[in-house]
Amino acid sequence: MASNAKDNWSATKYDTNANFVPVLGATILGMLDPKANETILDLGCGDGVLTKDLEKMCERVVGVDASANMIEKAKDLGCKDARVVDGHDLAAWFDNENIEQQIDGKFDAVFSNADIHGALIAALNRRGKDGKSYSPWFFPSDVHYKALLEEQGFEVQTISLNPRPTELPTNVAGWIETFGFTFLAALDTDEERRAMVKEIAEEMKVTHQREDGKWFIMYNRCRFIAYKPKV
């Protein structure tokens, strides 16, 4: 189920400015510990780099992402089952497409490297609020996130907040253009957007550019394993 929203993700920019995401995200594959007979949903699979690794570990992986550009890249990479699905509409997609019949049962696990925060928007929408009017960058503490999961009936096995200074393959301007398009879209012209990116990069030089010229961003990764008890 594709969204009608404009697809601002660029697989080319992602590969150029953020190729560290799937590489460093490989750490959580070990947390998932997939079994050879399992079917996994890769939520927010992006360009499919981690999806391909998952396919080697279990029976079937269904990768979903809201970006048609990223799904096209995932298919080019050779992902066996990659679909354009907006995570905000996941429940409707599951019912409308008869997913249980397609996978002969239910997913054994949901894997997500960098997309779970988007669930906040879906939750707000279900409660009759305009989730998209809230900040698209929702980064709660591990304590807050644990409480949110438990409110929804999950049993949290482990959860931790992991600070990770991350060296950028290009520069902070490329990083902003790749991930900050939601905010840049508020400006009217490309010229204004370029000027804004330049101004932000100048402000960040003192704190985010090292003496050798390399740029870095401080990521705080919230990693968790949670189960929904069988009923």
Q: What are the structural domains of the chain?
A: 1-138 (3.40.50.150), 171-214 (no CATH)
pLDDT, averaged across the chain: 86
Can you give the pLDDT at residue 137?
73
For the stretch 37-59, pLDDT in tens is 999 999 999 999 999 999 999 99
22 has pLDDT over 80: no
Reported pTM: 0.81
Can you give the pLDDT at residue 23?
75
Q: Which residue has the higher pLDDT, 63 or 101?
A: 63
Can you give the pLDDT at residue 92?
85
Percentage of the chain surpassing pLDDT 70? Answer: 88
What's phi and psi for 209, nearest 5 deg?
-125, 125
For the stretch 123-180, pLDDT in tens is 555 555 554 555 667 778 999 989 988 988 899 999 999 999 999 999 999 999 998 8
d(CA 129, CA 123): 9
Can you give the pLDDT at residue 4?
57
